[in-house]
Amino acid sequence: MKVLAADGISPKGIELLQKEFEVDVRDKISAEELLEVIPQYDALMVRSASKVTAEVIGRAEKLKIIGRAGVGVDNIDIPAATAKGIIVINSPGGNTIAATEHTMAMMLAMSRNIPIANETMQKGEWNRKQYVGVELRNKTLGVIGMGRIGSGVAKRAMAFDMNVIAYDPYINEDRAKDLGVTVGTLDDVITQSDFITVHMPLTPDTRGMIGMEQMKKMKRGVRLVNCARGGIIVEEDLAEAVKQGIVAGAAIDVFTSEPVGKDHPLVGVPGIVLTPHLGASTVEAQVGVSLDVSEGILAALKGEPVATAVNMAPVSPQVMKVIAPYLTLAERLGGTVASLAEAPVKKVEVTYNGEITEVNTGMLTTAVIKGLLNPIMENDVNYVNAPGLAKERGIKVTEVKKKEAEDFANLITVKADIGGGKTLTVQGTLFGSEARIVRINKFRVDVDPQARILVCPHINKPGVIGTIGTFLGVHGINISGMQVGKTEVEGTSLMVLTIDHDIPAGVLKDVKGIDGIIDAKLVNFYAI
């Protein structure tokens, strides 16, 4: 078997593969060359430079696996690979230590004024009294997001005798206790912390989650760190907050748009430490991701399970033929639950009705959990790690099969327990080959889960629908479709608007304030 290693893969990974297979190394392969040579290879290793498009995959006559030496898989057409039965893997944990240590380094550098002290020393200056710092000991560190990196930062911070308060929608008390951290709300973290570090994915919900409004609630002298994703902290607000003394300092490794230029709002602001997205840039991390992916390729080519697949776990061709059309639907039902839930999900029951009950639906249940967790997790959730991540967060998952079907030939029902005796139910089916959400709680709907929807329970009275349509139009948000679902509850309806644009948090808040609107939740299927 032959393996193609592109984009400068670490030699350590290549050496591992060379023990078993023939490996061709092409560090700078063009798109045209990749198209030409891909038919002869059983496996492909890339970083971010090579674009593994649907056209490349279409020409891959022998390809069994694509390995991304890193976390992001945006350069790989995963649906095309999945449709052709090609496994796609990445290295979700290969840079965890690097990112964790960089976060600590940024926190220390900022608190002790190391960058500016070095800069002035190199100029021959001696400004010892000017750059008095602060200690980490006995300070409270707020960690927003307790995934692999956030948990690693918390652990290291406690070694510095810091007190750690954490916010994560899906952390449970048992895990928090094991880690030795206090669990709080986002507002708790914002108001109680001396240092705040962000380790969340960039989603519509987290974009701009820390702006001037939040910074004004923080302790005087607070210091912020972002080594996760640019855009979570509003850059313009941070610059202004530091200038005004609202925030004492910041250490930023990631930016809304990269690379940044001299005109960036954070550049040149005293008290802000900047690095050019170095979180994963260590020799060890580059070797680590290379070895991770090489081990995955070895397993796949030997017919063994692959632990880091981002598309699917192996299933028989017969079962895949039946469940494949339902995979996207199942994932987006889970994502809808995540977007509509007002509290962390405690339990999920997935019920199957109809002919689909005759096959193993385990992968569909995993797809539901993947969709549920992916919008709120720092790292990518895949078909392999989704069950473990759910268990880690105390989410109990059960599967029910009922042969009988009423309104639809096949039906998937996702019922989520969100605590306090409250449940959230979403149902979906296929109309031919097209996925549809057909029920949200007690409301019958017909929703195409392919774009963005705004879900608004409202009082059924004249003018409500027209008012919200006009309001969104004023803010430049186009409505491309509308459904109104009714229920047995007299006077209450559910409006579901398919929209073409993201809705800023402020606009969404104003929507909730419209007379007659009970609530408003945005479901962005592009982010699921």
> Annotated catalytic sites, by residue?
229, 258, 277
| Nearest CA-CA partner of 247 in 256, 238, 258 | 238
Q: Helix (H, G, I), strand (E, B), or coil: what is residue 107? A: helix
User: 449 CB contacts (<8 Å, ≥6 apart)?
Assistant: 328, 329, 332, 333, 336, 428, 435, 436, 437, 525
Any residues with CB less than 8 A from the CB of 353 and at least 6 apart, and which?
Answer: 402, 403, 404, 405, 406, 408, 410, 411, 412, 413
Cα–Cα distance for residue pair 255/252, rounded to 1 Å: 8
Which amino acid belongs to residue 203?
A: T
Separation CA 299–CA 373 (nearest Å):
26
Cα–Cα distance measured from residue 200 to residue 197, given in angstroms and rounded to the nearest whole number = 10
The secondary structure of the chain in percent helix, strand, coil, rounded to multiples of 5, reads: 35, 25, 40
Q: How far apart are CA 425 and CA 438, in angstroms?
A: 11
> Which residues, including other chains, have CB under 8 Å from residue 417's CB and lie 6 or more apart?
345, 346, 347, 348, 349, 423
**333 Cβ partners below 8 Å, 6+ apart?**
368, 371, 412, 414, 426, 427, 428, 437, 449
Report the Cα 67 to chain-centroid distance in Å: 20
Closest CA to 277 of 299, 252, 297: 252
- DSSP-assigned states of every residue in 428-464: EEEETTEEEEEEETTEEEEE-TTSEEEEEEEE--TTH
Strand 43-46, strand 492-499: pairing = unpaired
Residue 387 region, left (φ>0) first, then alpha (ψ -120 to 50), else beta?
alpha
Number of other CB atoms surrounding residue 99 within 10 Å:
25
